[in-house]
Amino acid sequence: MNHLLRGQAPITDAGWRRIDEEARERLEPALAARKLVDFSGPHGWQHSATNLGRTEPVAGAPQGGISARRRRVLPLVEMRAPFAIVRAELDDADRGAEDPDFGELDRAVARLAEAENRAVFHGWESAGITGIAEASTHDAIPLGDDCERYPRHVSKAVEALLEAGIGGPYGVALGPTAYGRVLETAEHGGYPLFEHLRKILGGPLVWAPGVEGAVVLSVRGGDFLFDSGDDISVGYDHHDADAVHLYVQESFSFRLATPEAAVHLSP
Amino acid sequence: MGFDQYHEPADELPEATRTFARLCASLTEEAEAIGWYEQRLALERDAEARAVMRDAQGEEFKHFAMDLEFLLRRTPLWREIAQGILFQEGDIVEHGEQAEEEAVEGAGARGEPLPGSTSLGIGSLREAP
């Protein structure tokens, strides 16, 4: 048994399969950052820090005539979203019920996905993570409510990236409001806005809960680096007569190599 | 009754791993049977007996292939390496080295789970270029 203690939970193998499937199905559409940035790992639960390749001086060496430097690393952050499943629902799932109530699980994975997106795109100062939007060296472009102007804003962002020598293809992480507008809109002549933007970018348009406005970025690789320790997993906390208390968890760090490779379209 | 296909305590293994181990044991048994029939056929002079054994060996070929296909379907990395080696013309060892390198590198880039991990196996969700 590993650190997730799944073997201690009063859950059958079939029950765990249903829980994992439900979590995976809910997570994949919402994990926007993983559709746009480089992913390294998973390196396992014991992986504690990302190598930055940099050092800093250390004063007061224990012996004269010695200079010293200390390695700088980016520690991984552990994120955990707890939830509970009513045991009767698990029993029903084992009997073959197709619609067990996993509502708390759904909400927990949505929180985790949103937190991962926020950390990557808007940063998480106390965890040492700088976000793509906040680090961008380009002026933010106001997105506004008029989605007929979105192609112009996205073109302007792509132009700024090209002028900075950042090659494509490009992608965009669209916050839920902006994404909804893009999906619903057909331009003059009926051509879907979604397809128009995709042609400008040459890369994906991604639904990104947690993102404010939108972020246009190069997806050529090598600019934005997500370092995964333990990839998203469901673990066991405790249980009582009525419910099993579980959590969904991951460890990761995120760093930017090229801050000029993205433009924020502010809401 | 023996449970030799388990190398670790069976009650600690997930159901999927127990199934995997059973099919690995079955694959081994089919391969052994193919080898035995091959030896018997090499020595048997009675044409009728040879025909019976040839037919029986054909059954083992089928069983072996079905076991292998099951295991490859459940193990994407194994499947990917096998695809680079099986039914290819040319140098077997060269194909093996190349298939392993490409498959392992590809799995790393996709963020596939580490062996023994119970993660959801999501990894990278980037579209292939």
Each residue's pLDDT, cut to its tens digit, for chain A (267 residues) gives 789 999 899 999 889 989 999 999 999 999 999 999 999 988 889 999 999 999 999 988 888 889 999 999 999 999 999 999 999 999 998 998 888 899 999 999 999 999 999 999 999 999 999 999 999 999 999 998 888 889 999 999 999 999 999 998 999 999 999 998 888 877 666 678 888 899 999 999 999 999 999 999 999 999 999 999 999 999 999 999 999 999 999 999 999 999 999 999 998
pLDDT at B1: 39
What is the spatial distance between Cα A11 and Cα A17, in angstroms, rounded to a whole number? Answer: 10
Residue in B with minimal Cα distance to A6: B118
pLDDT at B103: 81
- Within 8 A of A7 by CB-CB distance, chain B residues are 12
- Residue A142 Cα distances to A35, A37, A97, A215, B57, angstroms: 24, 23, 48, 11, 73
pLDDT at B75: 84
Nearest by Cα to A256 from A143, A139, A128:
A128
What is the spatial distance between Cα A197 and Cα A204, in angstroms, rounded to a whole number? Answer: 9
Chain A contact for B35 (CB, 8 A cutoff): no
pLDDT at A187: 67
Q: Coil, strand, or helix at residue A165?
A: coil
pLDDT at B102: 82
CA distance B42 to chain A (A): 47
Name the packing angle between helices A103-122 and A13-30 (round to 10°): 40
pLDDT digit string (tens) for chain B, length 129 residues: 356 778 888 888 878 888 899 999 999 999 999 999 999 999 999 999 999 999 999 999 999 999 999 999 888 788 889 999 999 999 999 999 998 888 877 776 667 777 667 889 899 998 765
Q: Name residue, tokens 């298939």.
A: B99
Name the packing angle between helices B76-85 and B92-110 (round to 10°): 150
CA distance A217 to chain B (A): 14
Chain A contact for B127 (CB, 8 A cutoff): yes
pTM (predicted TM-score): 0.75
Q: Is the peptide bond before B14 cis (omega within 30 degrees of 0)?
A: no
Those of residues 4-23 in A touching chain B at CB distance below 8 A are 4, 6-7, 13, 20, 23
Of A36, A39, A42, the CB nearest to B119: A42
Of B12, B121, B125, the CB nearest to A34: B125
What is the spatial distance between Cα B9 and Cα B99, in angstroms, rounded to a whole number? Answer: 33
What is the spatial distance between Cα A256 and Cα A50, in angstroms, rounded to a whole number? Answer: 12
Nearest by Cα to A129 from A55, A75, A208:
A75
ipTM over 0.90? The verdict is: no
Structure tokens at B55: 């037919």
pLDDT at B108: 67
Q: What is the DSSP letter of A46?
A: T
